[in-house]
Amino acid sequence: MATGHGSGAPVSGQVRPIGAVAVVTGGARGIGYAAAAGLAELGARVCIVDRDRDRAEQAMARLRTVHGAVGLVVCGDVADPSLAASVREQVEATLGPVDVLVNAAAILSSRSFDELDLEEWRRVLAVNTSGVYYLCRALLPRMLERRRGRIVNVSSLAAKQGGGGIGTSAYATAKAAVLGLTKALASLAAPHGVTVNCVAPGSIETEMTALAYREDPSLLPRTVVRIPMGRRGRAVEVADVIVFLASDSASYICGEAINVDGGSRME
């Protein structure tokens, strides 16, 4: 999380994003919530963006109780272009200018190419790719003006290996587009002291992936056997990398896609 060192001044190396304002999409659960909690723990004022109002309010209540967080909830669908502008306006009015954007909102499609219908294809791309673009479009310009900011997008290992166990066709395509968008925005933002990076999680224990494993019980053992560490990851293990990328400790990292996958893809 940027803390005023956008000009490249030396920093302490500590991951201490105290006092910054962070927006986390998909923040009501899974990787999004874990990232929001990690940022809040280090003093960030956090806005949770999620389409599930009840879950989002419960998540924010936990952040306030456990971490003493200051923040707000903005409910809506990231696939709706108007939501991004609303997020910007509400956050700036309540918390101040946005320093950090974490794009974690996503939906999973595990249908094979020949089973996928056009409606699902469009919906997966709308949430997983266009939603990232809309939030970046709304919040990045102000970061560039202030020469201060961090954007961390959540892609997927599926984007790099064509799907693997889950996330075929639409999901892998949408997450691959996030990789491309990350690099394009990183090139644009870097001269202005703003970094854009992404994480590419492998098989992570979340509610979203649990559905795919329930639909196909044989998928879980087939997935785990391909992971050198012999287990699936936890949301907090992805969140720790997100928080690092959002901090001044990562001030010279830009345009990267960091795998968080237990060694599944060693590059």
- Look-up of token digits 């903005």: 74
Q: At what angle do helices 235-245 and 30-41 cross, to 10 degrees?
A: 50
Catalytic (active site) residue 134: no
| DSSP H or E segment with residue 185 | helix 170-189
Tokens in use for 42? 């280090």
Q: What is the DSSP string of 131-178?
A: HHHHHHHHHHHHHHHHT-EEEEEE--THHHHTTTTS-TTHHHHHHHHH
Provide the Cα torsion 168, 78, 3, 142; round to 10°. Answer: 120
Label the pairing between strands 149-154 and 194-201.
parallel
Q: What is the pLDDT of residue 131?
A: 98
Nearest to 265 by CA among 206, 220, 200: 200
Q: What is each CA distance from 219 to 30, 66, 69, 205, 231, in whole angstroms?
A: 20, 35, 38, 13, 13
Among candidate residues 33, 134, 171, 213, the one labeled active-site is 171
Average pLDDT per consecutive 10 residues, the chain (267 residues; last block may be shorter):
39 52 97 96 95 97 94 98 98 97 91 83 96 98 96 94 68 95 98 97 80 69 78 94 94 96 81
pTM above 0.75, yes or no: yes
Residue 223 Rama label (left phi>0; alpha psi -120 to 50; beta): alpha
For the chain, which domains are there? 21-204+235-258 (3.40.50.720)
- Amino acid found at 90: Q
Q: What is the pLDDT of residue 228?
A: 84
